[in-house]
Amino acid sequence: MGVLEVTRSGGVLLLRLNRPAQRNALDRALTDALSAAFDELDDDPSLHVGILAANGPVFCAGTDLHEPASPATDRGGEYGLVRRRRTTPLIAAVEGAALGGGLEVVLSCDLVVAGAEARFGLPEVARGLVATCGGLFRTPDRVPPVIAAELVLTGDPIAAHRAYEVGMINRLVPAGQALDAARGLAERITRNSPDAVSASLGALADARGPAEAVGWTATDKAIATVVRSPDPLEGVAAFFEKRPPRWAR
């Protein structure tokens, strides 16, 4: 069994992250598998909706910290998804925690369904890092700025019910039912004109384009600041050594 399970049902492509022992952390192999699957989703006209789910108790813990940086592909950017210009809607079905790059993957999807025990967070600052894959600007695009600031600056996650209240997710369902609810949402989309859906998706992306460009520039500036600091090395070391970090100042 590979790091990504891919199944087709009618016009729906279901992708399941399959590194449960690693909390579905995104490494090079999983990124390449995701990128290939998203290529299939966008290039096969018989596919009309994608669903991204995960095996195990954690949706995704973000970048595998054994990687030197968030893995990326030419067509999709980080994780094969974050900078992708998609032509087919993608629904995230979240059970358990979506943290760091895991939340940034969720923010890269068009619709989000979550089980009641899901959690969403950007813990990078606790490791001396910043969110590098869209979290710094897509979070305030999805939720009120004060909630985005709380997520980015404290590193603490918010529960699914709060994420629903502030508009981060579309559907909140009982734990264990996110995938079924996502399938129902996908079925609703497939009743519509594929060409109209694709054109509308493109228009939504075009409307966000200028703000996204500014967001990537601001993110690059934040990254340039932290790479000059000793904090990232200390934060990651503390994470692996399971101890509180000792910051330089």
**Catalytic residue check, 78:** no
Catalytic annotation, pick one of 104, 165, 187, 241:
104
Q: Where are the alpha helices (DSSP H) in 53-157?
A: 101-107, 135-142, 145-154
Catalytic residue among 5, 117, 124, 150: 124
DSSP state of 26: B
DSSP per-residue letters across 144-162: -HHHHHHHHHH---EEHHH
Instruction: Return the sign of the alpha-carbon dihedral for residues 222, 63, 77, 53.
Output: negative
Phi, psi at residue 5, to the nearest 5°? -95, 130
User: Which residue, among 233, 222, 240, 236, has the nearest Cα to 248 in the 3D structure?
Assistant: 233
Question: What positions carry a catalytic annotation?
Answer: 104, 124
